[in-house]
Amino acid sequence: MLLALIAHKRWKVYHLDVKSVSLNGYLQEEIFVEQPEGFQIKGEEQKVYKLKKALYGLKQAPRAWYSKIDDHFQDLGFVKSPSEAALYVKLVDANSIIIVVYVDDLLVTRSDEKLIKEFKVEMLKAFEMKNLGLMSFFLGIEVKQDHGGILIHQKKYAREILKKSLMEDCKSTTSPMNQKEKFSKDDGADKVDEMHNRSLIGCLMYLTVTRPDILFAVSILSRFMHCASEVHLQAGKRVVRYVKDTLDYGIMYFHSHNFKLHGYSNSDWASCIDDMRSTSGYCFSFGFGVFSWCSKKQEVVAQSTAEVEYVAVVAAVNQALWIRKIMTYLHMKQEESTQIFVDNQAAISIANDLVFHGKTKHFKIKLFLLREIQREGEVKLLYCKTENQSADILTKALPKAKFEYLRQKFGVCNSKVKEEC
């Protein structure tokens, strides 16, 4: 989300690394450690050391470090987001500086270059740090920043998946999943090595950080990791073959004249053969590449297609509320309602109608929160035709033409040919 906002404002994001991060945290508890073998003091072998500062491997170390860096940021005038504990903002006149913390990595962006320089000077006074310049690589994600926007991809990581699964020379495919394929726990096929299958699916799950086009297939296969058969393994390998075909693909964010938060919500109908539960899917963007997406099995067995869609919309609305809170904190408050597009008119009618009737008696009370949120004007459900429903790619296997159309609509494109986005 932050990268999408930065690309819209044509800012740059910088990467700082704190050295020996765990050694910077002071402990609040009394913790003792034994003298290391071979380094015991003669005659005092029964004594222990009392720690003042954290050590690597100590379970209290991350909390101690976060407490230290949190106090330092507040001393510098930063305010922590109540909705996201790792996000800090400092407003100086009309300019702002934004920081995201991930353990020892700091991502910094600003509206004024001078603020970045002042921040680096202040941080160097308190910590030993490494200035990595413009963010280019973070947690396995490769980031390219230029005047055209920001592109994120995991090409290097995808190559490692191919190498690890011994599929570097495999035949590629143009879609991650067979359109008519259904999976079951008891499909009659031979069982496979669970460890190998879990490793494959686990690798693919991290790839979905920048590849929402494979999320549905990976989400489906992750449900069978404890009872994987040859059918599930072959389906997983098909996803890898698709990854090979789209090795250079990632998500592109760029400036848009129609900057507006909007989302799509969709679901399938009783797709799981084993328990007849459905899959919810949603995605959000500012009009130039999705930054938030989800494909998840519903917790209830829906009794109608309207209920399936309604449950999916509630999940999307909860995410929209969180995004709106973050935007308000970043001084980008959306005054108008966030539009969420749904391709089921019955679900929209239930969300607007304040009267309970036979078809909604079995709904959980928490689902009716949506009516209150709509009344307050924070979100607004709008109908869209099925052919325009972007979240379809997160809830079902699609024909090749529609899959490629929605993939492009998501902002997933070839990193070598940005102009195609």
Question: What does 382-416 look like in DSSP terms, one character per residue?
Answer: EE--GGG-GGGGGTS---HHHHHHHHHHTTEEETT
Residue 407 covered by a domain: no
CA distances 264 to 161, 274, 287, 290, 384, Å, are: 31, 27, 12, 10, 9
Residue 216 covered by a domain: yes
Reference 266, options 301, 304, 312, 303; nearest CA is 312
Distance CA 414, CA 417 (A): 5
For the stretch 282-302, pLDDT in tens is 999 998 899 999 999 998 888
Last residue of a domain, one of 107, 135, 163: 135
Residue 310 covered by a domain: yes
Tell me, what's the pLDDT at 237?
95
For the stretch 99-129, pLDDT in tens is 999 988 999 998 888 888 889 888 888 888 8
Residue 44 three-state SS: coil
Q: Is the pLDDT of residue 39 over 90?
A: no
- φ/ψ of 67, rounded to 5, equals -60, -40
Residue 125 and residue 174 in one domain: no
Residue 179 and residue 86 in one domain: no
Residue 414 covered by a domain: no
Expressed as residue numbers, the domain containing 314 is: 259-384
The number of distinct structural domains making up the chain is: 3
Residue 11 and residue 119 in one domain: yes
Sign for the CA dihedral angle at 174, 195, 204, 231 comes to positive
Residue 213 and residue 329 in one domain: no
Residue 22 and residue 95 in one domain: yes
Structure tokens at 28: 């609040």
Tell me, what's the pLDDT at 356?
56
Q: Is the pLDDT of residue 391 over 90?
A: yes
Q: Is the pLDDT of residue 311 over 80?
A: yes
pTM, two decimals, is 0.87
Confidence of residue 276 (pLDDT cuts 50, 70, 90): confident
Residue 203 covered by a domain: yes
Residue 396 covered by a domain: no
Residue 157 and residue 118 in one domain: no
